[in-house]
């Protein structure tokens, strides 16, 4: 039968070790060493979702947003059921000043990942930056319903939501 596990190859050693080592290097703030670990991944696993996730993290730390968009796009294709690819792609586009595109590409994920609070939260950020405050507040309400204190705490610190700072406590 064609299920998830027959389509996605299981990541096996030594590649699992390289991914874990890359994660360790990222925790230490060393994206270059993390990238070196990922270069050791066998060819058959280079597009494995776990490897792609780690690759995105490395490129994000290096602020290589073009590479981030490319990696996240592949992740949405290889693992469409993971919200991270959709979130990461739009985040990178927003970092590049392509906020409308970030919004356009993330909005379809809103209905797919109904429990995820980061998606409506990020959409609210993009709407706020696009000066669409009323819509931003609606999406922020959704994020707060889904994410509770985590979403509210994040919102208080987020520069993208500065135009809504005064309204936050009443949302």
pLDDT of residue 169: 85
Measured over the CA atoms of residue 55, residue 57, residue 59 and residue 64, the dihedral's sign is positive
Contacting residues for 37 by C-beta, under 8 A, at least 6 apart:
18, 19, 21, 22, 25
pLDDT of residue 9: 67
- 10-40: buried (b, 16+ CB within 10 Å) or exposed (e) per residue? ebeeebbebbebbbebbeeeebebbbebbee
pLDDT in tens, 72-126: 999 999 999 999 999 999 999 999 999 999 999 999 999 999 999 999 999 999 9
Instruction: Record the tokens describing residue 76, joined without a space.
Output: 């949405």
How large is the average pLDDT for residues 42-56?
A: 94
pLDDT over threshold 50, residue 3: no
């Amino acid at each position: 039968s064609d299920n998830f596990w027959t389509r996605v190859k299981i990541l096996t050693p030594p590649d699992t070790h390289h991914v874990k080592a890359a994660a360790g290097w990222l925790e230490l703030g060393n994206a270059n060493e993390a990238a070196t670990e990922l270069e050791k991944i066998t060819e058959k696993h280079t597009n494995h979702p776990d490897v792609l996730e780690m690759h995105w993290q490395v490129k994000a730390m290096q602020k290589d947003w073009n590479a981030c968009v490319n990696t996240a796009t592949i992740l949405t294709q290889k693992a469409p059921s993971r919200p991270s690819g959709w979130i990461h792609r739009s985040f990178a586009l927003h970092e590049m000043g392509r906020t409308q595109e970030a919004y356009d590409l993330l909005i379809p994920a809103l209905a797919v990942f109904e429990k995820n609070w980061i998606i409506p939260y990020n959409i609210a950020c993009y709407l706020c930056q696009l000066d669409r405050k009323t819509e931003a507040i609606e999406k922020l309400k959704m994020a707060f319903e889904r994410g509770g204190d985590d979403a509210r705490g994040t919102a208080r610190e987020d520069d993208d939501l500065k135009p809504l700072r005064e309204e936050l406590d009443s949302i």
